[in-house]
C-alpha cells in the first residue's frame, strides 16, 4: 500500500479555483460579477446584515434593564457541604476555596438549602437562604453572616 492508494473516508468537494482562465468557468471576473463594491477586494457585508430589511435586533422590542447595583453570588448547596466536610468543621470562603468548591473568590457567598444536612457544621457566609439556615441549625450547626457587602449608608446626617 502506498500513499496514493489511500482514499478519503470523508470526501470533500475540491475548492473553487478562481481566476484561472475562461475555460475553467471561473475566470476573468472570478465569480464576482462586473463592477461595484462586491467586485472589490475587502468588501464584505457586516455581520447580521439581512439584505436591507429591518434587522431582528430592531424588530424585537426592548425589554428589561441591567441593574448596575446587582450583586452576583457564588452559591453552594447543603448537599455539597454534606459530602465534603466532617461534623464540627468550620466552613467559610477560605476552606471552600482550599477544597476547590468555590469558583470566584471575589464574589459574595450564599448558602442554599438543596439537599439534607446531618452533620453539625459551623458555616460563615455572606447570605443564607431561609431553608439552608433552618437545616443547618436543625442539624446542630451554626450560621454566621459575614457582612462583606456593607455599603456606606446614603442620606444620613453625619
All structural domains of the chain, each given as residue ranges with its CATH number in brackets, are 74-145 (3.100.10.10)
Average pLDDT of the residues of the chain: 90
pLDDT beyond 60 at 158: no
Residue with cell 481566476: 19
pLDDT for position 149: 65
pLDDT for position 152: 58
Neighbouring residues of 129: CB distance < 8 A, sequence distance ≥ 6: 110, 111, 112, 113
More confident residue, 156 or 148: 148
Write the pLDDT tens digit of every residue in 89-127. Answer: 999 999 999 999 988 888 999 999 999 999 999 999 999
pLDDT for position 155: 61
Backbone angles phi, psi at 142, to 5 degrees: -125, 150
- The pTM is what? 0.59
pLDDT for position 8: 81
For the chain, percent of residues with pLDDT exceeding 90? 73
Write the pLDDT tens digit of every residue in 16-73. Answer: 999 999 999 999 999 999 999 989 999 898 888 999 999 999 999 999 999 999 999 9
Amino acid at each position: 500500500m502506498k500513499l496514493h492508494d489511500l482514499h478519503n473516508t470523508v470526501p470533500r468537494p475540491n475548492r473553487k479555483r478562481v481566476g484561472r482562465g475562461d475555460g475553467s468557468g471561473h475566470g476573468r471576473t472570478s465569480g464576482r460579477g462586473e463592477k461595484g463594491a462586491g467586485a472589490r477586494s475587502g468588501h464584505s457585508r457586516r455581520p447580521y446584515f439581512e439584505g436591507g430589511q429591518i434587522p431582528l435586533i430592531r424588530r424585537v422590542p426592548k425589554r428589561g434593564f441591567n441593574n448596575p447595583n446587582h450583586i452576583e453570588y457564588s452559591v453552594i448547596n447543603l448537599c455539597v457541604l454534606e459530602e465534603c466536610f466532617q461534623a464540627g468543621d468550620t466552613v467559610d470562603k477560605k476552606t471552600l476555596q482550599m477544597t476547590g468548591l468555590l469558583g470566584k473568590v471575589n464574589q459574595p457567598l450564599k448558602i442554599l438549602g438543596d439537599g439534607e444536612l446531618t452533620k453539625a457544621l459551623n458555616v460563615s457566609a455572606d447570605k443564607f437562604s431561609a431553608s439552608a439556615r433552618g437545616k443547618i441549625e436543625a442539624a446542630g450547626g451554626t450560621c454566621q453572616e459575614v457582612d462583606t457587602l456593607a455599603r456606606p449608608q446614603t442620606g444620613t446626617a453625619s
